[in-house]
Structure formats: structure tokens, C-alpha cells
Structure 1
Amino acid sequence: MSPNALPARPRLADHVLARRHMVGEEERILLHDARTGELLQLGAREWGLLSAADGTRDVEGIVIAAAREGAPARVAAAQAFFAQLHAAGLLAAEDAGEDEAPRAPATAAAAAAAAPVTAAPALDPGARDPQERPLEVLPDFSLHCDGRGSCCRIYASILFDPEEAARARALRPEVLSGGARHERAFTPERGAWPCAASVVAMRDGRCAYLEGEGGAGRCSLHAAGGPGAKPLGCRTFPASFVDDGESVRISVAVECACVLASVGRPGGAPLVDPRLRARGDLDERIDVATLPDHVAVAPGRAAARAELVAWSRRLAAAAPPPDVAAGLFALAAAVEAEGLTGGAIARFERPDPLDPAALAPWLAALHRRAARRAREDAAWRSERDLARRATQWIAAATFALAEPDLLAALLQAPAPAPDRERFTLRAAIHGHRLLGALPLSLALRDRAVRLVVARALPLICAEAGADDPACAEPIALVEAMLRGHGLDAYALDALDGGRAS
């Protein structure tokens, strides 16, 4: 088959995320291309066609199946619709293996940031079974959830496995009439049906099962069936799990106001049941990330996992710097110059003041990302959608910080919430959350930029008259938006000199 020809039995590619949003009473289906970040908005009829395209039917068969479900269309119109999707790269290749073929990095910066490929070491037959690795929980932290549902209003995807979705539909059958039909309340996690997990529909940016209006609400599944009625991801949030070869580090994602409001408050809920001791004790469905054998520490340079783990322990034991953002920027430069040495950590503890000129390209890159996303969101998201408003606030904050005098004044003033900044760093270090898509040195600068933006956010929220409870902890708001809505890609834009905006 010609690579440009429409597949005989079209289906949505696995890298495409279909999400149902209710904006007021209007239903919208958004197709998000996870490879490019592009969005395509569909109507109910187009989604009816696409839902019937499961890879077993030709276009005529899809039209017949869609008509039975109340989505009639002419064959010629359906053919043109699927041709449009195929031209946009949203359909799976005829050979399923082609759909996941690797692609070159999108930018020069992405190529520069890639870690060297290193062969995995031979397995040590005397090594401890990974299931026996001890759980190492973030010390001196317990969670006080305020029950206001901030985390249920900020993320683009809330996953349910088949059993969880069936339980939700039974407990709350009236929600989007999901009790009668699964697909009225859920879309596939990836691609088209069938799929191992489903994503619940959102109403004005909120989980459809969240009660209440505006900036507060309680999970109606929790209310109807107790905490066990919620999906596993909601029950374990905000805990994160990383196996670093020595232990499973359990930390916390600083992405909800409740997390930072819990800092220094004893008596809350533990991140995991204290009776659990080893990885094998965890629910097998919990996503435990694994640190690779080698991790990029600077563009073009990597370190062995054991070396990174030992370094992170030394960093966790270091004295916190007087300005956490300045310490992170200083540590980034030291890691690039000296590697993972004690001298690098010493520079972290006693950093020079932040240089506004060094921050400016990063802030400009984040502004471009946020401003573009704000324009896209305005075309389809509700004005009550927290994600839409938070993107606008971040775009406004980064725009304001483009004024050199304002940025300099912000950097010279004491951090408004130093305890929150120190905790955010402590949680990131313990959970290896600085190690990911970016080399370590770049991730350190990225985290510094996030803290600076969070310092400016209260002024922006006040000017906008925002009284959302999520605004009470701006660090958490920035963290959730950057990870949950793709704004963290700005870091590669900054390295690429702004060419990839």
C-alpha cells in the first residue's frame, strides 16, 4: 500500500488522545496528537464515525455501524473525513507496528539534550529481587485533603480501568447518562476502542463525577461508595513511585494546593499504608517508574544510576540555600562544569543572586507556550475551566516578568513562601522528580523558573479578581499546569532560541 493511501480499515492512532468535554451543555470531542501537541475539535457525528472505526471495518462498514448508533453519514463524506485525519497523521498505519516507529527529535535542542545510549549492564544473579526493594517514603509529611476538589479540576485525563468505570456508572448512572452506555461518560485512554483504560468526560474542565460548582466540590463517587469507589489514580494521588535500583522512593507531586497546605502539619493521612514495606506489597496496578541505568546530567553527558542516587542523597542532606531558585540555577551551572561533585552542592548551598538576564530567555519561552495555549483554549474551553484560567495567569505573569525592572525587583525581594519552596525541592529530590526528559542541569534551571513564575502569580490572580482556592498555592498551580498540560515543553524552546514555539 502506498504510504499516502488511506488505510483500508482505518482506526485512530495510539498516539492520539480523544477527550470528551462538556462546555455548558455543548458536547465537544478533542483529538490531541501527543507527538505534535496539535488539537482537532470534532462534532458528535464525526466522533460517531471515528468510534466505529475500530480497525476491523472498511469505510462503508464504518458508515453502517455509525448509523446504527445515531451518527448517519454518506460514504463519500466519511471517506473525505478519514482522508483528512490520515493526512494529519492521526490514523494508525496499516501495519500496526509502523504507528510507534521512532521519530527524530522535533528541535535541535531536543537532539542536543538526548542522553548517550549505553548498553544495559549484565544482570547480577545475586542482586535482590526488585519486589523486595524497600519502600522509602518522604519523611515528615502527611496529607491533609481539604475536600474541595482542586486536583479534580486541573488535569486533562483522569483514568479508570474497566472495573472502576463500571462501578462509577453503577453508583452514578445519571452522570452523562453513563449508566446506560459506557461511551457516553468515557473515551479511550489512547486511540479508539477497545482500550485497557478509559478517560472520564470533563464538564467545564472538571471531572464529570465532581459535585458542586466553581472552585469547590466533592467527589460524588466517594460520597456514594466511600474512598474505595474512586479510581486507583485518585486514591493514590499525590504520591509518586520511583524504583531507583536501591529502593522505591515514594514522594509527592506538588501539584495540588492541599500538598503545600499540609507542610509542617502533623496528623494527616500517610502517602501509603505504613504496613507496606517492599515493592511487592504495593498494588500491582500502581505505576512504579524505573530510573534507567544511565541518566543524562548535562547535554551530551550521562552518569550511572547508582551515582545519581548517591548524589541525590547528598543533595537532600545539604543545607537549603537562602534562595531556592538561585540555588537551583547555581547548581545547574556547577553540574555542567564539575559534574556530580561535592563542589557542585557547595555552590547550591551558597549561590550568587539570580541574574535576570539568565532567566529572561526561559521566561520568554514559557510565555510563548502559555500564550499560544491560552489562544487555543479560548476557542473551546469554558470560561469557568480552571486550566484555561491558569494558562492565562501564567501567560500574564511571564509577560509581566519580561519587564527587566519588574523581574529585578521580584528577584531582590524575599521569596513570599520560602517554606513552600524548600518543601517543593525536598519532595522533588526525594522522588527523583528532577530526572526525566531533560538532562539534570536543564531540569534544575526549569525548576528555578517555575518558582520565579509562582512568586509573580499572586499579583496576577489579584489583578484578575480570581478567588479560586487553587490560587492559594501558586507553586502547585504552576507545577500542575506545566506537567499536566504540556507547558513544560517550553524548556526545549528556551534551548532552541525560541525557534520552536
Structure 2
Amino acid sequence: MSPNAPPARPRLAEHVLARRHLIGEEEIIVLHDLRTGQLLQLGGREWGLLAVADGTRDVEGIVLAAAREGAHARVRAVEDFFAELHTAGLLAAEDAVEAAAPPGAVEAAAPPGAVEAAAPPGAVEAAAPPGAVEAAAPPGAVEAAMDERARRDRPIEVLPDFSLHCDGRGSCCRLYASVIFDPEEAARARALRPDVLGGGARHERAFTPERGAWPCAASAVALRDGRCAYLEGGGRCSLHAIGGPEAKPLGCRIFPVSYLDDGESVRVSVAVECACVLASVGRPAGAPLLDPRLRVLGDLDERVHVAELPERVEVAPGVTAARAELVAWSRRLAAAAPPSDLAAGLFSLAAAVEARGLAADTLARYERPGPLDPAALAPWLAALHARAARREREDAAWRSERDLARMAARWIAAAAAALGDPELLAALLSTPAERPERERFYLRAALHGHRLLGALPLSLALRDRAVRLVVSRALPAIFAAVGASDPACAEPLALVEAMLRAHGLDAYAVEVADAR
């Protein structure tokens, strides 16, 4: 076979996410390539072909299997279709193990606290028969087992002085490109609401596989105008309304909570990606982030994803520090006196970290920063505008005008473009933040959950967060200009945070870093 020819038995690559969208009454499948950010729109017939291409069938077998499901096509047309997918890099190489998507790749993201699908019963162990002689443990196995036991006993440290008041408007259910259900959750949803897209009779009418095209351990629900298909018109979850909170997928139940093991404790924090989070700041008697009876890592549901902080972290380009140093520094920063302008404080702190690492005296630059320089912000704002404008153009080709993600990309692009005017930017920077207490909470939650660490070194992540604050301050003027009244507009910072993570806009900062 020619090296440029598609696999004889094709299947969709696992770095490609297939998501079903309903725009009005039109149904389409959008393929998201996590490696490149490419989007490809398919119709129902093309998806019917992909859905039966499981890597065991050749093209003729795919044609026969698809015909049984009502997707009829000629062999030559199907060969051309898979050749196009292969050229676009969307098919899995035969017998290949795929690498993870690189940092900054565009993701069809799930809400934070995303749940890892459990292995099917019996899949975990291939047990030895009774009386079998056990092989000696490999070198290091005992130590690894002891480390795992110690990790399970790691204490849980919940973000203090915060409880959540959910407004029940479903903003979070209207913004994310993937809402993930495990098999049991999907079956329960279809039983409670069999009328939703006819999913009661056929799983594949309401769901697509989490990755690739062939059924796997988890599924993504179809979206109607960007909303979870199980969301009612008033913003209420119909699964919750009928079956109570336990009827929702675990990822939805724990949203917006995040979990991270930093080697000393499991930090339980909150992602500031929903208006409800910032609206809850300073309000007592809300729902706790975690049941207080859960005290150590081993108490958590095994399906909850607990991220781990690496042993060493990049604090500036090419400079790393030990995890324990970062944890101590993070605690000192959380306890430091907040500056009068948080965005200026973060930008100034970034320069100090690049000059001095995690030395204690770097915090003085944070507490007493100079004014933000519009020229220093300009390349960051230009890159964010380019990324958001690109997303807006791509979304306009297939997303509904009622889709919150499409509107939000447009608003962010407009705000970043407006701030390209040096005079307007200077005027914004000279105006005090309207809600400084919510900006301070934003940083406190990020520090507690170590959410500043990811694709970027810490110093660049600090600048990125300053840019997000500045753009969120500009958004109310954009909302007023276009007459936006969506509930998600009540907290612009939360909208910026959700869009940057969930729709790949955060890759703008990687582009700025690469250009430095």
C-alpha cells in the first residue's frame, strides 16, 4: 500500500472528537481535530459511514454496514471520502498508538472536574487462578505501592470561605463543546427522557463517542444551538427536574469544582467559569464545594479526575523550581496584601518572577506595582483578538445565532479589538476595576487550585491572567453596544475564563510566548 494511501480498514483517529449539533432543525456532525484545531462539518450520511468504520471493515464492508443503518453510498464515493479524511490527518494509522494533543490545542472541552470513564466490570484485573504461584514483584513495585497508599491518605484542602449559589439558569450547560456521560449515566438519561432526539430507542441518536467514532467508555451528548440536549428552555436541567441531582452526569454534579494533588494535599478549588461562582463571592450559606465527610483522597469517587502537580514546574521560560517551592510561594502570594489594581500587580509580578524566580521579595512587586504599560499589553491583546476572530468566523459557518459560544467569541473579539486603540486602553487602565473583590477571589481560587500552571511557564501565565482581567473589564461596554442581555453577561470574567479554556482561545498566549 502506498504510504499516502488511507488505511485499508479505516477508523477515525482518537485525537478527533465528533460532536452532534442541531442548529434549528438541521442536524450536523462537527469533527474537532485536537492537534490542529481544524473543524470539519459532516452530514448525516457521512457520519453514518464513519460510525461503522471501526478499523475492522474494509471499504466494501463499510458500505454494506452503513446501508443496513440507512446510509447508502457507492464504493468509489466512500473511497474518496476516506481519502480526504486521511489527507486531513483525521484517520488513525493502522496499529498506531496516538500521542496526546499538544498544549494549546483546541479542545471540545468538558466542564472542569471532568470525569474519567471507569473501566467496564471485570476489565481491571485478569486474576490468577486459586493456588497459582505469583511472580516476584518487579524492582520498585513495593515502593510504588507504598507511595500510592500514602497518596490515597493525602488530606483534602478545600478552598476556604466559599460556598456556591447556583442560579439554575444553565449558563454552564450552554457553553461547553462536550458534556460527557458514562454508559450508566447515558442509559439513565435516555430512560428519564426517551423523547430527547429519540434517544430512548437508540443511544446513537442522542450521543456520539467521547473520542473517535466507534462506541467507547464515555459519550458526548448532542447539543441543540450549543445547549445540552437535556436542557429545558428556561435553563433547567430536565434530568435534574425529573430524577433529582443524582440523575445528572457526575461531571455536571461536581462542576465547577477542580481537584489537584500538589504532593502535600489535594487542593479542592473552583473554576471561575460560571457567573454563579463570582455571584457567590461574599454570600454565606451556599452549597459546599465538597461533602465535609470526605477528608482524604481515598474518600473521593474513583471516577473524579484528580490532576497531579509535577515534581518540577516551569516558573519562567527555561527555569524550573521544585514543586514544594511553588506550593510555598503560592501560599505566600495568596496571603499577600492585594494591589490596588490586580491586573497591574500580576503583570509586575511576572517580571519579578523572571528576574528572581520564587524568591520572597518578588511579592513586593505584586503588592506595589507600577501602572500597566499599554505597549506591553498590545501584543497580547492583538493575539487574543486574532484567535477570537478566527473562532467567530469558523463558528459563523455552522453555529446558530442563538449559540452562546458563538456570541461570546464575537464579544471577546470585539473587546480585544477595541483595546487595540492606545487611547481607549489607557483610559480603561486608569479606571478602577468595578468589582475588585471578585477579581481578588479569581486569583485566590486560581492559586488554591494551582490553576496558573499548564501550557505556559508561571511568569507568562501571570501576564495571561492580567490580560483576561483587562478584557473582562472592557466587555460591559461591548454588551451595552450590542444590547446583550444573556445571564452569562452578568459576570464578564467568568465568560472570558470559560471561553478561553473550552473553545481554545487560550492558545493565544502560547502564540505570544512562542513569539517572544
Kept in 1: contact 2:104–2:507 (CA 8 A): no
Superimposed CA distance per residue, residues 415-458 of structure 1 (whole angstroms, 9 cap, x where no aligned partner): 11101100000000000000111110010000000000000000
Is the 2:104–2:506 contact (alpha carbons within 8 Å) kept by the matching residues of 1? no
Look up the SS of the partner of 1:342 in the other structure.
coil
| Alignment equivalent of 1:385, drawn from 403, 421, 426 | 403
Task: Provide the alpha-carbon RMSD of the alignment.
Answer: 1.8
2:181 alignment partner AA: F
- How far is 1:135 from its partner? 0.5
The 3-state SS of whatever aligns with 1:94 is coil
Matched with 2:177 is 156
Q: TM-score, normalised by structure 2?
A: 0.91
Offset at residue 125 of structure 1 (A): 8.7
Match of 2:79 in 1: 79
Structure 2 distance, partners of 1:22, 1:416, is 38
SS at match of 1:302: strand
User: Per-residue CA shift, 1:245-270, capped at 9, x if unaligned?
Assistant: 11000000000000000000000000
CA contact (8 A) 2:281 2:441 kept: yes
Which of the residues 437, 462, 483 maps onto 1:444? 462
Q: How many residues align?
A: 480
Partner residue in 2 for 1:32: 32
2-structure distance, mates of 1:12, 1:153: 27
Q: Give the distance between the partners of 1:464 and 1:387, measured in 2 at CA.
A: 16
The whole-number CA distance in structure 2 between the counterparts of 1:52 and 1:182 is: 15
Structure 2, gaps ≥5 residues long:
106-139
SS in 2 for 1:4: coil
TM-score, L = length of structure 1: 0.93
Q: Any idea what SS the aligned residue of 1:436 has?
A: coil
1:372 alignment partner AA: R
Once the two structures are superposed, what CA deviation does each residue of 1:111-162 show, in whole Å capped at 9, x if it has no partner?
xxxxxxxxx9x96997661000000000000000000101000100000000
Distance 1:357 1:164 in 2: 50
Which of 338, 341, 347 does residue 323 from structure 1 map onto?
Answer: 341
Aligned to 1:113: none
**Aligned partner of residue 494 in structure 1, secondary structure:** helix
Q: For residue 100 of structure 1, give the secondary structure of its aligned residue in structure 2.
A: coil
Corresponding residue number in structure 1 for 2:484: 466
User: Aligned runs of 1:241-252 on 2, under 5 Å?
Assistant: 241-252=259-270
CA deviation map 1:386-442 (0-9, x unaligned): 000000000000010000000000000001110110000000000000011111001
Q: Could you tell me which residue of structure 2 aligns to residue 55 of structure 1?
A: 55
Gaps of 5+ in 1: 107-119
Question: Quick check: 420-429 or 127-136, which moved more?
Answer: 127-136
CA-CA distance at 1:103 after TM superposition: 7.7
Question: C-alpha displacement at 1:233, in angstroms?
Answer: 0.3
| Secondary structure, aligned partner of 1:463 | helix
| Partner residue in 2 for 1:427 | 445
Residue from 476, 484, 487 that aligns with 2:505: 487
- Is residue 115 of structure 2 the alignment partner of residue 94 of structure 1? no
Q: Structure 1 pair 417/102, CA: closer, same or farther in 2 (3 Å)?
A: closer
Structure 1 CA distance for aligned equivalents of residues 99 and 80 of structure 2: 25
The one-letter code of the counterpart of 1:95 is D
Q: Cα distance, 1:96 vs. partner?
A: 2.5
Q: Offset at 1:304?
A: 1.0
Match of 2:172, SS? helix
- Matching of residues 270-419 of structure 1 within 5 Å: 270-419=288-437
Counterpart CA distance in 1 for 2:450 and 2:88 is 36
1:109 maps to which residue?
Answer: none
- Provide the C-alpha distance between the structure 2 equivalents of 1:123 and 1:246, rounded to a whole number of angstroms: 18
Q: Which residue of 1 aligns with 2:188?
A: 167
- Tell me the alpha carbon deviations over residues 263-295 of structure 1, each in whole angstroms, 9 at most, x when there is no partner: 000000000101110000000000100011111
3-state SS in 2 of match to 1:402: coil
Alignment match of 1:475 (pick from 493, 503, 512) = 493
In 1, Cα distance between equivalents of 2:243 and 2:174:
21
Alpha-carbon shift at residue 102 of structure 1 (Å): 8.4
Aligned in 2, Cα 1:104/1:142: closer, same or farther, shift over 3 Å?
A: closer
Conservation of the 8 A alpha-carbon contact between 2:152 and 2:298? yes
Question: Residues of 1 paired with 2:415 and 2:459: CA distance?
Answer: 24
* Contact 2:173 2:228 survives alignment (8 Å): yes
Evaluate the alpha carbon distance shift between residue 274 and residue 490 of structure 1 in structure 2; reply closer, same or farther with a 3 A threshold.
Answer: same
Measure how far apart 1:100 and its partner are. Answer: 2.4
Q: Residue 425 and residue 438 in structure 1: after superposition, are their counterparts in 2 closer, same or farther (change >3 A)?
A: same
For residue 68 of structure 1, what is the aligned residue in structure 2? 68
Identity of aligned residues (%): 78
Given the alignment, which residue of 189, 196, 202 partners 1:181?
Answer: 202
Code of the residue aligned with 1:100 in structure 2: it is A
Shift of 1:496: 3.6
1-structure distance, mates of 2:143, 2:43 = 52
CA–CA distance in structure 2, aligned partners of residues 265 and 153 of structure 1: 25
Does residue 1:6 correspond to 2:24, yes or no?
A: no
Q: Distance between the aligned counterparts of 1:176 and 1:75, measured in 2?
A: 30
* Deviation readout 1:337-357 (Å, 9 max, x if unpaired): 000011111111111111100
Q: How far, CA to CA, are the matches of 1:6 and 1:285 in structure 2?
A: 36
Distance in 2, matches of 1:32 and 1:416, equals: 37
| 1:150-190 deviation per Cα after TM superposition (whole angstroms, max 9, x unaligned) | 10001000000000000000000000000010000001111
Partner of 1:296, secondary structure, is strand
Letter paired with 1:85: L
How far 1:104 sits from its partner (Å)? 11
The AA in structure 2 aligned to 1:142 is: S
